[in-house]
Amino acid sequence: MNFTMSFSELMPLAPVMIVALTAIVAMLVTAVKRNHNLVATTTVIGLNLAALYMIFVLLAGKFAPANVMNLFIVDPFTMLYQFVILIAALACSTLSHAYIETYKDNREELYILMLCSVAGAMLMVASTHYASFFISLELMSIPVYGLLAYTHQRSQSLEAGVKYLVLSATASAMLLMGMAYIYAYTGTLNFTAEPGKMFSAFSQPAVVIGLALIVFTVAFKLSLAPFHKWTPDVYAGAPSPVATFLATVAKVAMLGLFVRYVLSSGLILADSFVTIITILAVLSILAGNLLAVKQVNLKRILAYSSIAHFGYVLVAIVSARNSDFLQIQGFATFESVNVYIITYVLTTIGAFGVVTLMSSPYNNTDEAGSLAEYRGLFWRRPVLTAVLTVMMLSLAGIPLTAGFIGKFLVIKTAVAGESWFLAAMVILGSGIGLYYYLRVMVVMYMTPPETPRLDAVNHWGQKVGGIMVLAVAALVLILGVYPDPMIAFSKLAFFAISPELQQFIFTLVQSGYN
């Protein structure tokens, strides 16, 4: 492999380099003089510059896929997911500023850790090689260990960091072993090498074991059942902005990498592999929704909800195989997956944003997690209640919210792909989810306690974090009423298909495969 290249060849990864440079600047500023506002501002400026650069490239119409060192590929699919990651990171940074402003210990390192993790997440969605897969995954994951345990005075925060550290390290070991098994059979670490070989590899025990280990790792990172057990504990114990980061940035990065992996390698065409993904999807939908029903902690409800939502995403991936992927002409557009990820990220940021505004880094119990903290919130904070109500309705998939558009497109894709059972599972899961989302809303309109233990600060809507949460709520409503720009943006994010995979798909279609 030749790593000698000019700076111009690295330009497709310019947004990642901007984020990495911002992390270095934040380190230098912290080393010279600690200033929370300055480091937070530096972080936001760097993330905005990276996002603006991507918008400039998008408007300039530079859609040609670019291969970087045979380790990464930057195509519109990559750019969409990187842009979503940047928007989520910006939201988490503004929430972190509001949350940690009164923290008496060091505050600046939180932004440095977050920037390093964002750089890893952006590299993940561009990876086309097992080496870049693992290195970018670890670059994203390792800073999260520190972020989860950042408010270490709270025993739950420290516990969340240790739990995620142990389990994530175990998953990484499984990933490496799986890669070793596959490399022993294929003799290459590139995803796109010989798609037909991977397609027919299920007859080889070593490859079956290797793919199983890789899928288990992905399922752990995406909180798919039955690898979901860590999720509610870590979400409940983590500082609220970090829980937001883990639920959005980390999961979007892992999903983008997984989609690229199963498409580039041709695994999505293997019936046996699709059966495994279908089982994971059904288990995630059932486990996520059923386990959320009895929860009395909002952060745990959101954790179990995310399990179910990524089950819906898997349904879209499986169904799109027949409705989109086999009809490609060099490119594939997974419109329903892209739209669902956008709506999920916006809604999750809004829901966790309300929790963050109600929380404090010095509360050693459950921050503002318990539903009891939200009893009668409408009578104290009507606008904040309206924001959380919009987010619950969107998560439930109620019309006139962005969440409805996402679920509608998933069901539409399942029907187009004739995946009737999976379409029924999405409808069933949404019906169960409606119960616990509405329960959260009912609590907020009940008679308030005489002395609430936790509450948002006065004039919360005039602070940066509050303004961001209000903007997200407005966007969720606007996209629910007028989703055309979001859908058009998702259609532009096509996935580049290698010539080898194109030929292989053409051969399958000619042979009568469906």
Per-residue model confidence as pLDDT tens digits over 446-490: 877 766 666 666 666 667 878 889 999 999 999 999 999 898 888
What angle in degrees, to the nearest 10, is found between the helix axes of 108-124 and 130-148?
Answer: 160
The answer to whether 5 and 61 are in contact (CB under 8 A) is no
Q: Which residues contact 192 (CB under 8 A, 6 or more apart)?
A: 128, 264, 265, 498, 500, 501
DSSP letter (8 states) at residue 66? E
Going by DSSP bridges, is the β-strand pair 331-332/495-496 parallel, antiparallel, or unpaired?
antiparallel
| Token pair recorded at residue 11 | 């330009």
| Token pair recorded at residue 198 | 């991977």
* pLDDT, mean of residues 407-430: 90
Q: Which residues contact 215 (CB under 8 A, 6 or more apart)?
A: 276, 277, 280
- The phi, psi pair for 513, rounded to 5°, reads -70, 140
The SS3 of residue 366 is coil
| Token pair recorded at residue 446 | 């009940």
* Rounded Cα distance, 231 and 249, in Å: 15
The answer to whether 490 and 339 are in contact (CB under 8 A) is yes
Higher pLDDT, 513 or 340: 340
Q: Is the pLDDT of residue 61 over 80?
A: no
- What per-residue confidence (pLDDT) applies to 16? 94
- What per-residue confidence (pLDDT) applies to 52? 94
Q: Residues 184, 187, 189, 190: is their CA dihedral positive or negative?
A: negative
DSSP symbols for 73-99: EE-HHHHHHHHHHHHHHHHHHHHHHHH
How do the residues of the chain divide into helix, strand and coil, expressed in percent and rounded to 5? Answer: 75, 5, 20
Give whole-number Cα distances, 495 to 18, 52, 76, 292, in Å.
24, 22, 7, 35
DSSP symbols for 259-278: HHHHHHTSGGG-HHHHHHHH
pTM assigned to the model: 0.93
User: Which spans in 33-154 are helix H?
Assistant: 36-59, 76-100, 108-124, 130-148
* Rounded Cα distance, 142 and 165, in Å: 8
Model confidence pLDDT, tens digit, residues 301-352: 999 999 999 999 999 888 877 655 555 544 556 788 999 999 999 999 999 9
- What per-residue confidence (pLDDT) applies to 452? 64
Give whole-number Cα distances, 206 to 9, 128, 202, 268, in Å.
37, 21, 9, 19
| Token pair recorded at residue 400 | 């006139």
- The phi, psi pair for 417, rounded to 5°, reads -90, 5
| Token pair recorded at residue 179 | 């890669």
Hey, which of 2-11, 22-31, 145-154 has the most confident mean pLDDT? 22-31
What angle in degrees, to the nearest 10, is found between the helix axes of 484-492 and 335-358?
Answer: 120
- What per-residue confidence (pLDDT) applies to 265? 79
* Rounded Cα distance, 222 and 216, in Å: 10
| Summary mean pLDDT of the chain | 85
